[in-house]
Amino acid sequence: MTDRKETVGFIGLGFMGHGMAKNIVEKGYPLTIMGHRNRAPIEDLVARGAREVATPREVGANSTIVFLCVTGSREVEALVRGPDGLKAGLKPGSVVVDCSTSDPTSSAAIAAELAEAGIEFADAPLGRTPKEAWEGTLDTMVGAGDALFERLKPVLSTWAGRVIHMGGTGDGHRMKLLNNFISLGYAALYAEAIALADKVGISPKRFDAVIRGGRMDCGFYQTFTRWVLEGDRDAHKFTIANAFKDLRYLESMADAAGVVNPIGNAVKNSFGVAMAAGGERSYVPMLTDFIGNLNGVDLKPANQP
């Protein structure tokens, strides 16, 4: 248990949220969760001691800190606002923590709106994968004032191995967009390089024999290429639709800052190709399939239909 008697709410029990919420309740915090059409994570968490409710308002009424782990800003705004929204249920002194990858402009507007009701807002987007979420070893980049960060840190540490204070509200989301720009840039680069290699007669396995263990290798490369090399669908469970959304947010941030962003737009367009081909539900490593198809090469793993 903790010194402070926080009660925690959690909305968004998908690939990442399920593991995060599991660690919160297992490490002693009373946890309220909102029902979801996918019953498996809900039932698992209830079995571990969580309480299920039906609306964001009820989550807020039972919590001093509420974590949101949803697709993006549109979903966060919908959860906060309205007669059954979080704002209607939260008490003054409560905190909303957005762990989604969101638009910093939207985050600033929500923070100001909640502040009028005496409710604080922090952004704590995530790094790493569902595997680390389950293990409680995610990275998180936190945008919050100093006092709020210190209040949140014990709860964040239930599911994060690295809790990094980035600065004020919105700075976590800004850094997350930069982080995803780099990782998704790698994905676009690897996909195009592997497609070009195959086109000129160098198989993905031979390509990998040079890159793996060399200076161009990295952890992202290793998970990304597990699809094309091994047909591992679960190596990096992050959808192409979410990647494309994040790159649009990056473009918006660059535009607002007056920064030319030619590489960011090129990366966005690589994912746009996959989106246009119906790949929104595919995972990021499957970008190789779409870039390969565009260039007349079949990169789908041999063990996949």
Please determine, for residue 302, whether its predicted confidence score (pLDDT) is greater than 90.
no
Mean pLDDT of the residues in the chain: 96
**Is residue 304 domain-resident?**
no
Domain residues for the domain of 273 are 174-294
Q: What residues contact 109, with CB distance under 8 A and at least 6 apart?
A: none
- State residue 4's pLDDT score: 54
* Mean pLDDT to the nearest integer, 224-246: 95
Nearest 5°: the CA angle 45, 49, 53 is 70
Say which CATH number the domain at 97 has: 3.40.50.720
Residues 77 and 194 in one domain: no
CB 45 within 8 A of CB 13: yes
Q: Specify whether 70 is located in the same domain as 99.
A: yes
Same-domain pairing of 162 and 179: no
Catalytic residue list contains 5: no
pLDDT of residue 124: 98
> Which entry of 27, 87, 91, 176 is annotated as an active-site residue?
176
Domain assignment present for 124:
yes
- Residues 126 and 49 placed together within one structural domain of the fold: yes
302 domain-assigned: no
* Residue 2 confidence (pLDDT): 43
β strands within 137-222, DSSP E? 138-143, 160-167
On whether both 178 and 163 belong to a single domain, the answer is no
pLDDT for position 304: 81
Prediction pTM value: 0.91
Q: Inform me whether the pLDDT recorded for 114 exceeds 90.
A: yes
- The tens digit of pLDDT for each residue in 149-171 reads 999 999 999 999 999 999 999 99
Q: Do residues 107 and 98 make contact, with C-beta atoms less than 8 angstroms apart?
A: yes
In a domain, 300, yes or no: no
1 pLDDT tier (thresholds 50, 70, 90) = very low
Q: Are 75 and 152 within one domain? A: yes
- Stretch 131-149: mean pLDDT: 97
- Condensed to tens digits (0 to 9), the pLDDT of residues 69-89 reads 999 999 999 999 989 999 999
pLDDT score of 303? 79
Same domain, 13 and 155: yes
189 domain-assigned: yes
Domain co-membership, 147 together with 206: no
Domain count for the chain = 2
Q: 181 and 145, same structural domain?
A: no
